[in-house]
Amino acid sequence: MKGDYQELVDEISALLGEPATLENRDFGLIAFGAHDSDDDSAMDPVRTRSILTRKSSPAVRAWFEGFGITRATGPVRIPAAPDAGVFRDRICLPVRHRGVVLGYVWLLDAEPGPSHAQLTAAMEVAARIGELLADEERAGADLSRELRAALTAERGWQYDMALTALRTALGPDAEGLHTVVCVAPWPTEDTPSPRTVPGAAALCTLPWRPAAGPVTGTPFGPAPATGPAPRTGTGAHPAPGRQSSGQASPTGSGSGRPGTAPGPDAGTGPGPYAPADGGAARALAVLVRLRSADNLSPATTAATRLRGSADPAAVAGVATPRRGLAELDTAWREAGSGARAALVQPLLGPVAEWAAIGPYRLLTALPPAEPDPAVRALLTPAHTELARTAEVFLDHAGQAGRAAAALGIHRQTLYYRLSRVEQLTGLDLDAGEDRLLLHMALKAARL
Q: What is the pLDDT along the chain (447 residues), one digit of tens a residue?
A: 455 888 999 999 999 988 888 998 888 888 887 655 555 555 555 555 555 555 667 777 888 889 999 999 999 998 887 776 677 888 999 999 888 899 999 998 877 888 999 999 999 999 999 988 887 766 555 588 899 999 999 899 999 999 999 998 888 888 999 999 999 989 877 777 776 787 888 899 998 866 533 333 344 444 554 443 333 333 343 433 333 333 333 333 333 333 333 332 333 333 443 333 445 688 999 999 998 888 998 899 989 988 887 777 889 999 999 999 999 999 999 999 999 999 888 888 799 999 999 888 888 777 777 778 888 888 888 888 888 888 888 888 888 889 889 889 999 998 888 888 888 888 888 888 888 888 888 887 777
Closest to 147 in 3D by CA, of 135, 139, 155:
139
DSSP 8-state secondary structure symbol assigned to residue 260: S
Show the domains of the chain with their CATH numbers.
2-133 (3.30.450.40), 175-213+272-363 (no CATH), 369-446 (1.10.10.2840)
Long-range contacts of 421-424 (CB under 8 A, 24+ apart): 421/378, 421/386, 421/387, 421/389, 421/390, 422/244, 424/377, 424/378, 424/383, 424/386
Query: Would you put residue 27 in left (φ > 0), alpha (ψ -120 to 50) or beta?
Result: left
pLDDT of residue 278: 44
Rg (CA), the chain: 28
pLDDT of residue 265: 33
Tell me the pairing of strands 351-353 and 315-318. parallel
Burial call 150-185: b when 16+ CB within 10 Å, e when fewer? bbbbeeeeebeebbebbbebbeebbeebbbbbbbbb
Q: Are 229 and 396 in contact (CB under 8 A)?
A: yes
d(CA 105, CA 122): 9
- Backbone torsions φ then ψ of 22, nearest 5 degrees: -115, 125
pLDDT of residue 33: 72
d(CA 5, CA 441): 50
pLDDT of residue 268: 33
pLDDT of residue 95: 95
Contacts of 206 (CB under 8 A, 6+ apart): 148, 151, 152, 271, 273, 282, 283, 284, 285
Q: How many CB atoms lie within 10 A of CB 141?
A: 12
